[in-house]
Amino acid sequence: MILSRLRVTAGLAAAVCLSAGCASPASIKPAEVTDERTGMTVGSLDKPIELRQGAAQNSVVIDRRISRAYLGPVEWDAMGTVSYGLWVHVLPGRDWQFEDIKAPGAVTLSLDSGAAALSAIEAPKLAHGPYQPVGSWGQTQYFRADVDLLKRMASSGTIELDVKAGGESVRFTADSDARETLSRYLHARGY
């Protein structure tokens, strides 16, 4: 009897470890919540997509010397009126000091189909945002998006974000997993 319980416990532990071990950037999945303050349904990813500058590596520990960027799609559904946005968060390291990302032309999204300057928007005032800033010293802004842009991102082999810093442009690149993540997000949204 004790041996039987040990086997069941060991089997459950193995299943939990296996599922935890499979957590990777590719396992980022869509999330949908209802905002308790507005009643609005918000569709996003569980966590934003990290974009890397040059040879910087993804890491659980944030190295304050290296700049980082994050983005995530957002769908706001207010009783059938649906709108979209891109959440962008940039963390300056010691290598760059970013200009105000709300300024026109400060952030450009580059895809296989070409570059698109992003326009800042005011997001709906929610009790909790769909994504949390990774670092308190960074800048966060929502940008205008639509289904067509999200589809272009999901079908693009390369997703890059150019952010102005002191007259120069700093390029951040998403891993190849971002394409699959965005495809799953669109599928979950019904596209």
What's the confidence (pLDDT) of residue 54?
Answer: 67
Neighbours of 20 (CB within 10 A): 8
Lowest-pLDDT choice from 2-6, 80-84, 160-164: 2-6
What's the confidence (pLDDT) of residue 46?
Answer: 92
What's the confidence (pLDDT) of residue 61?
Answer: 47
The answer to whether residue 174 scores a pLDDT higher than 50 is: yes
Express as a percent the part of the chain with pLDDT over 70.
Answer: 77
What's the confidence (pLDDT) of residue 166?
Answer: 83
Mean pLDDT score across all residues of the chain: 82
Gap between the Cα atoms of 88 and 120, Å rounded: 10
What's the confidence (pLDDT) of residue 28?
Answer: 56
Say which residue, 128 or 63, is predicted with more confidence. 128
What's the confidence (pLDDT) of residue 66?
Answer: 78
What's the confidence (pLDDT) of residue 78?
Answer: 94
Question: What dihedral angle (degrees, nearest 10) is formed by the CA atoms of 57, 62, 66, 71?
Answer: 80
Task: Tell me how far CA of residue 98 lies from CA of 101, 102, 112, 115, 121, in angstroms.
Answer: 7, 11, 25, 19, 19
Per-residue pLDDT band for 63 (boundaries 50, 70, 90) equals: low
What's the confidence (pLDDT) of residue 163?
Answer: 94
Ordered structural domains, the chain, with CATH: 28-188 (2.60.40)
Say which residue, 123 or 58, is predicted with more confidence. 123
Which pair of structure tokens corresponds to residue 176?
Answer: 């190849």
Per the CB < 8 A criterion, the answer to whether 135 and 63 are in contact is no
pTM above 0.85, yes or no: no
